[in-house]
Amino acid sequence: MSHDTKSVGAVGLVRVGDLEITVTPLSQSEELALDRQLRRGAEAEAGDHYTRCRAELEAMKDSPGDRLEFLREVARATMRKEPLSPAAVYEFRCSAAGVALELYARGRKATPGLALAGLRAVVTTENADQIAAALFELIEGGDPKATR
């Protein structure tokens, strides 16, 4: 059985407070595993189709016909098991939870003692954008969409 050893990204250092994380390239199979983890995280955060559409349904409470048709569409989407949009996955990737997950995946090999739980504690909504920018800069020269 062969394994793809091609790496994506660059080696570099990302600082989160006093913590320094050495980010290393991932193999193609590791990139795919990270993509799956990010998608699962986004799906868990988004909830089911009905939960995602709750605000729209509430706005239609005075239009029973429109509401019924909308509910039919939600049911169809649920039955088809439609995945989240790439934009929704990207939004999760840039959230505190997504940044912690990606930083862990890219830093665990070269940063002894790095733990996902510890990263989740220090990557917050307040600092996630800055950390993501530093991480994305290392991965693809600052274009976060280029890695997916």
Beta strands in 28-98 (DSSP E): none
Q: What is the pLDDT of residue 17?
A: 85
| Crossing angle of helices 96-107 and 28-46, rounded to 10° | 160
pLDDT string in tens for the chain (148-residue length): 333 333 445 688 898 988 889 998 899 999 999 999 999 999 888 777 777 778 888 888 898 898 888 888 888 877 777 777 899 899 999 999 999 999 999 999 999 999 999 999 999 999 999 999 999 988 875 444 444 3
Cα–Cα distances in angstroms (integers) from residue 69 to residues 47, 64, 66, 81, 86, in the given order: 21, 9, 5, 18, 25
Q: Does pTM top 0.85 for this prediction? A: no
Token digits for 65?
A: 């016909």
**Token pair belonging to 142:** 């600052």
Nearest Cα to Cα of residue 106 among 114, 95, 117, 96: 114
